[in-house]
Structure 1
Amino acid sequence: MRILHILDHSLPMHSGYTFRTRAILKAQVARGWDVMAVTGSRHVAAGPAEEVVDGLRFHRAGSGSRAPSPIAEWRDIAALERKVDALATTWKPDILHAHSPVMTAMAAGRVARRRGLPLLYEIRAFWEDAAVGNGAGTEGSLKYRAIRWLETRAVAQADAVAVICEGLRSDLVARGIAADKIMVSPNGVDLGLFGSPPPPDRGLAAELGLDGAEVIGFVGSFYDYEGLDDLIAAMPALVAARPAAMLLMVGGGPMEAALRAQATASPVADRIRFVGRVPHDRVEAYYGLIDILAYPRKRMRLTDLVTPLKPLEAMAQGRLVAASDVGGHRELIEDGVTGTLFPPDDPAALAAALSALLADRSGWDARRATARAFVERDRNWSENISRYDPVYQRLASRGRI
């Protein structure tokens, strides 16, 4: 079976999006399927028009248009459509598998309808809600409602739909999409990458000034919706209760400058460490220094509907997880069993939850083992990938459903 994946961006760029894509493509190759991918204009890593990255084949549609919005987006969709159409001619895929945002589905959908190819559209987040979460849009605005309409239309026109969590599935059903058209392909962990928690790197701990510390950590992208300002705001109260507590921030993103400034102004600035972005093959070393991974996401549509990937990676690494009580986290974490949930948008509650965890370590080993078992059983990519099989087989055998 030949599957052409249509993507927003891919490796060698690093993001939760590209790591999920890598896991899907690698697992499909391991099953013996013939897999290729094409990326749109938002893939900005330097490289040739065709390349192999980590053993996976990618084609590039080219850089984005310089025209104003929405002309630029329409031109980018057209460029991606041309590339998909050319590959449909030369490579002859059995299935087109488009991954959000909706621009990829629009480009792939035109080719699918013209050539009679089946289309699976996979949604990882609604583009309009992601824009609100990133501070680039306003809920209910004209642009928001237009993108939402385009998303609903793309889903209706696709032959099958995949979403990463029940929150997205329920939202689509509420829009009138048939429930039996939607499959859930949840986020998972490649245990080949996050399978063996390393021992603490004492040299790295000393370099960062973490010797003897109780380390709270965040590893990921610094977006506003992640609530990292609440995590920094919680540190004075946490340090008052647990004098050995320190915060380790690994990553970067749009909020980095503001967060660094907030940390510098904090009365416990000396207890907060930023290390910036680190190479992916070094991430495990930083996980190994952290006692509790904190995910204080703010409450909004994006965080209530979408499940993040990072808590699963932390569980696979044998780390304790504490997260805000929003819908996306509740799909991953059972409070008191696989992790701790605390009220969102509340630094005092966050500090209290972290302090309580640090004060009583008696259940840590059992909780880490339970969380790790959950990932191995329910969120292991080598098992998750089997969910695509019946949908692909149905699409390939019937053309359109």
Structure 2
Amino acid sequence: MPSRIALLTPFAFPSVRGNAVTVDRIGRGLRQRGIDLAIWDLSATPEAVVEAAVEAFAPSLIHAFHAYRSGPLALRLARHRELPLVVTLTGTDANHDLFDPERAPVVRRVLEGAAALVVFHESIGERISGALPDLRGRIVTIAQSALLTAGEPFDLPARWTLPARRTLFVFPAGVRMVKNPRLPLAPLGRVVARRPEVRLLYAGPVLDPDEGEALLQALDGLPWARYVGTMPHAQMASLLAQADVVLNCSVSEGGMANSVLEALAMGRAVLASDIEGNRSLVEEGVTGLLFRDERDFERQAERLAGDPALRDRLGAAGRAHVRALYPPEREIDGYLGVYRRLVPVPSA
């Protein structure tokens, strides 16, 4: 009998949060490869219901996506059924929760109870093993991929009337402090003063109400910038196709940002903060541009706004880079390899 995998996640489709997008992509890939997989969304289902459903599903392995949010329940289920536990760590796990005085004991207990720990980039693995050296041998790096289909059209003109000649910067991310959504406003405002065709569009759910309110207040009175709210992930390819530049201003990332991967996959020019998680994908001047502070952002944004050939060159290089190094089948091969070391799984 083929093994069954129970995957617990803090958010799942139709949520458009990064965790949900990643889990949906991985889940589809695993099922296409013959894995009997069930996904439980912990934001939508009470723990007691999840426990009963997992018990009835009778999995061979428990997989937790997000150590702090999904890990405790997953660990309890794995121990109760004497099953191996796989944990995929997010950026929040590795960059914040593992070192937070209140959350660290929970995260450490989950990681120590796991048979395998999946990270998106070697730098995150080094961070984990630096804090918990005894776990180094359990860490596996599986790079994320980008899976965008034609999907649904994003009707930009219905959301925002733009001039015929414009250069559109797009900020596709959930609105929360770690994504630093207000950073572009001052430097891009100075660029707009010199290049009035520049526009800035925000698309994504408000995940931090205080930051969402602060962003809307900052946008008030700026005719060149607009927040269009949450959009289905099925419309992301269409939105990115209409962008000239895609922004990532994050303070930290978990090794790879879905927004950057997807922008590169669509052949868009990327301007990203110069942090470890973004440098894993964006090579300065080759697959995108990086910035260190507001002045650097302004300089790089000005370059991109005024040089369509540069945007095209970076976009083409980024698309080739993602196709060569981060295909979806390689990501799924990685998870199948982890599972196969712990339980029998289909070889096809």
Report if the CA contact (8 A) 2:7-2:39 is conserved: yes
Matches within 5 A, 1:264-275: 264-265=220-221, 269-275=222-228
Report if the CA contact (8 A) 1:95-1:118 is conserved: yes
**Which residue does the alignment assign to 2:27?**
25
Distance 1:223 1:379 in 2: 27
Distance 2:144 2:312 in 1: 24
Quote the offset at 1:186 in angstroms.
2.2
Range 240-249 or range 152-161, more displaced? 240-249
Q: Percent identity?
A: 24
The answer as to 2:50 corresponding to 1:83 is yes
Range 324-333 or range 172-181, more displaced? 172-181
Runs of 4+ residues over 4 Å off in structure 1: 127-131
**Which residue does the alignment assign to 1:178?**
135
**Which residue does the alignment assign to 2:259?**
310
For residues 192-246 of structure 1, give each alpha carbon's deviation from its aligned partner in whole angstroms, at most 9, with x where no partner exists: 368x9x8x97x72895223211111112211122222110111221113323212
Residue 249 of structure 1 aligns to a residue whose secondary structure is strand
The answer as to 2:192 corresponding to 1:212 is no
Report if the CA contact (8 A) 2:94-2:127 is conserved: no
The answer as to 2:117 corresponding to 1:161 is yes
CA RMSD of aligned residues (A): 2.7
Which of the numbers 52, 60, 72 marks the counterpart of 1:94? Answer: 60
User: What amino acid sits opposite 1:117 in the alignment?
Assistant: L
* Unpaired runs of at least 5, structure 2: none
The answer as to 2:296 corresponding to 1:349 is yes
**How many residues in Structure 1 have an aligned counterpart in Structure 2?**
339
**Which residue does the alignment assign to 1:15?**
17
Distance 1:257 1:290 in 2: 25
Distance 1:148 1:105 in 2: 12
TM-score (norm 2): 0.88
Distance 2:198 2:117 in 1: 45
Range 13-22 or range 375-384, more displaced? 375-384
Range 227-236 or range 318-327, more displaced? 227-236
TM-score (norm 1): 0.77
Evaluate the alpha carbon distance shift between residue 152 and residue 236 of structure 1 in structure 2; reply closer, same or farther with a 3 A threshold: same
Residue 395 of structure 1 aligns to a residue whose secondary structure is coil
**Which residue does the alignment assign to 1:50?**
none
The answer as to 2:145 corresponding to 1:188 is yes
Report if the CA contact (8 A) 2:86-2:117 is conserved: yes
Evaluate the alpha carbon distance shift between residue 106 and residue 181 of structure 1 in structure 2; reply closer, same or farther with a 3 A threshold: same
For residues 334-355 of structure 1, give each alpha carbon's deviation from its aligned partner in whole angstroms, at most 9, with x where no partner exists: 1111100111xx2222111110
For residues 124-145 of structure 1, give each alpha carbon's deviation from its aligned partner in whole angstroms, at most 9, with x where no partner exists: 13448557xxxxxxx97xxx21
The answer as to 2:313 corresponding to 1:362 is no
Report if the CA contact (8 A) 2:248-2:271 is conserved: yes
Evaluate the alpha carbon distance shift between residue 14 and residue 361 of structure 1 in structure 2; reply closer, same or farther with a 3 A threshold: closer
Which of the numbers 186, 190, 202 marks the counterpart of 1:249? Answer: 202
For residues 164-205 of structure 1, give each alpha carbon's deviation from its aligned partner in whole angstroms, at most 9, with x where no partner exists: 2223211111122332311112222114368x9x8x97x728
**Which residue does the alignment assign to 1:69?**
none
Instruction: Select the structure with the greater relative contact order (CA < 8 A; seq sep ≥ 6).
Output: 2
Which of the numbers 317, 321, 332 marks the counterpart of 2:270? Answer: 321
**Which residue does the alignment assign to 1:145?**
101
Residue 134 of structure 2 aligns to a residue whose secondary structure is coil
Evaluate the alpha carbon distance shift between residue 387 and residue 149 of structure 1 in structure 2; reply closer, same or farther with a 3 A threshold: same
**Which residue does the alignment assign to 2:342?**
395
Evaluate the alpha carbon distance shift between residue 22 and residue 362 of structure 1 in structure 2; reply closer, same or farther with a 3 A threshold: same
